[in-house]
Each structure stands twice: as C-alpha cells, then as structure tokens.
Structure 1
C-alpha cells in the first residue's frame, strides 16, 4: 500500500461547498482505502494498492480523481497529488523559520513545474521585510507577514487565472497535520 495526498484547489470557497464526508465517500467509491480528510479545505489522504510507476500513472490517477469529483460535485475539479514520502521531504526542507512570530509559512504545490519556476522568477521583486519565496524540489516555499497576507505582491501574482488549475497552497502547519495521519 502506498499513501497519497490529494490537495484539492478551490473548494469551500466561492460557492463550491463540499462536505468532507461526501469527499471521503467519493474516494472510497473509487476504490481507495484508509481515506481521511483533514480540515475543510480539500486535503484527502488515501492508500492505493501499489506505487505509481511513472508520470503517466500519476497523471492517470489525477485525471481519474478529478473526473469523479467533477461528476459528483458539479464543478471543475483540480488537484495536486503527492505521495506521503515526498510530502515528508517537502515539509522537512522548508527553508524559512516555520515558527517565526507574526509570519505565515506556506508551500505552493503545482501540477505544472513550469508555473512554479515562473512564479519563482518574481523573487527579486518582493519586499523581503514582507515576504520571501524560494523554489524547492517540485514546490515553491513562501513566507509572508500575517499583517500583509493576501494583499502581498506574491499573493497577487500567484492568484492570476493562468495558475488557477495547476497550483494550490497549503500552510505548513496543515501539512504537518497531514503527515501525522500518514505514518509508515
């Protein structure tokens, strides 16, 4: 068995409301086991019988889940998949002080690495006293002052429509919660 995390984009905001019990049921109906949801922002942990062999397998799994979500909940579903082992490495590699007082620690995931590289290109434009970003292995790390939040320059850049169906951001503390539920 291999544990995966599906990070759903854009649910329980802007009129797309999905109960976590219904979300978990959808994953069960797809044949996945050990399904757990974490918070109401679209984090699903589940197991599959065997690890994905390559990017083609991962793309097929992603497409299957998105199709099921779209059919059941009548919205254009976008997810990013990450296996539990990779998620652990990503969290441990967070390059900033995750407990920095007055700051939010975030990790941006994407199903399109080119988008992460493009967004990382804005690094020098940011005011370091308000926020910082750093490109990681398959993710973009971001820390931002709580007082600035979604009004930050990077937040505005990353919110562009072109990134909507490929990126999703999670607070590092949420990722720690996910890892607590993915032992092994």
Structure 2
C-alpha cells in the first residue's frame, strides 16, 4: 500500500534532512518505492501498514540524527479523503493548512483554540483516530495569527502541519 510519511520539525530550525538522505534512509529501513516531496520532510513509500512504516522511519531517523523525529504515517487514500474534506474556501488572500494531531485528543482541543480575524478552524476526522484540524489564515500570518500562537503554546510537539498545496503534491507523487 502507498503511504505518506510526514516528518515533524525538520528543515524548519531543527534538524536538516536532505531529500536524497531521506530517500536512502527510508530505503535502508526496508521501505519500498521511496519518493520524497519538496524539501520539507515529506515522503511516499510502499509498505504493509502506515503505523509500521512510521515506526521504521522514526527508528532510522533517530539512529542517523541522534534524536527523535516524529513521523506521521497515513495511507494515501486516507490522506486524499482529508484533503478532499477541506471545508474552507481557497483564495489568494489565505493560506490553507491541515494540522495533523500526533496524539489522541489533541485535534479536539485545537479546534477550540482562539482564532483571529480572517482565520477559520474546523475539526476533521482521520482514520487513525487522532483527528485533524483544517485551518485557513490570512497570508503572512502563519506564525503570528491568534491560532498560530495558541497552537505553538499548546500543541507544538503534538502536531505536524502541512500546507494543503503541499499535501496535493504528496498525493500526486503517490
């Protein structure tokens, strides 16, 4: 089955994981047909199950970089359903995101966080049971909006966030 692997906290001030290194590392971890997408910690692999693929990737990353790098593994069909369910309008004035909870209960709490002017937040479902949050914010406010600040304070290490456009590129690479 094709599985998307989304690494948390790489290439954004933490550990730098180059695409070529990630491809080699995942292949050495026993994952097949590895394709990386952009330089932001995204890969698509073939494996028997998403959780197992994520665990294999996390173990390989920890051996290579000496620290835990959380990895979300999600079946491509499930990722496509999450992208398709994005409820907010997409326009040139806003940036569309999906916030993936890495732990149970986090998404519901995030959906209740404060939102700023022009922001929209909606809880969504995810087959892992951890949930997602669909977030739209005015361009240029990704780090400074009310929701972004609340997200940083309350769930920084318990989520990984992707631009909806990036997720569409991950799906296209599958």
* TM-score of the two chains, using structure 1 as the length reference: 0.86
Change in 2 beyond 3 A, CA 1:15/1:112: closer
Separation of aligned partners in 2, 1:15 and 1:139: 23
- What is the DSSP-based 3-state SS (H/G/I as helix, E as strand, rest coil) of the residue aligned with 1:126? coil
Counterpart of 1:63 (choices 48, 52, 55) is 55
- What is the DSSP-based 3-state SS (H/G/I as helix, E as strand, rest coil) of the residue aligned with 1:165? helix
- Which 10-residue stretch deviates more, 170-179 or 68-77? 68-77
CA RMSD of aligned residues (A): 1.6
Aligned to 2:166: 174
Deviation at 1:15, TM superposition (A): 4.4
Separation of aligned partners in 1, 2:3 and 2:53: 11
Aligned to 1:43: 42
Equivalenced residues, count:
169
Separation of aligned partners in 2, 1:148 and 1:23: 30
After TM superposition, the structure 1 = structure 2 runs for residues 1-184 of structure 1, keeping only pairs within 5 Å, are 2-48=1-47, 50-51=48-49, 58=51, 60-98=52-90, 100-122=91-113, 125-127=114-116, 129-137=117-125, 138-160=131-153, 163-182=155-174
Indicate conservation of the 8 Å contact 2:102/2:160, yes or no. no
- What is the DSSP-based 3-state SS (H/G/I as helix, E as strand, rest coil) of the residue aligned with 2:87? coil
For the pair shown, the structure with the greater C-alpha radius of gyration is 1
Gaps of 5+ in 2: 126-130
Separation of aligned partners in 2, 1:165 and 1:81: 16
* TM-score of the two chains, using structure 2 as the length reference: 0.90
Gaps of 5+ in 1: 53-57
Indicate conservation of the 8 Å contact 2:31/2:53, yes or no. no
Structure 1 consecutive aligned stretches of length 4 or more whose deviation exceeds 6 Å = none
Aligned to 1:55: none
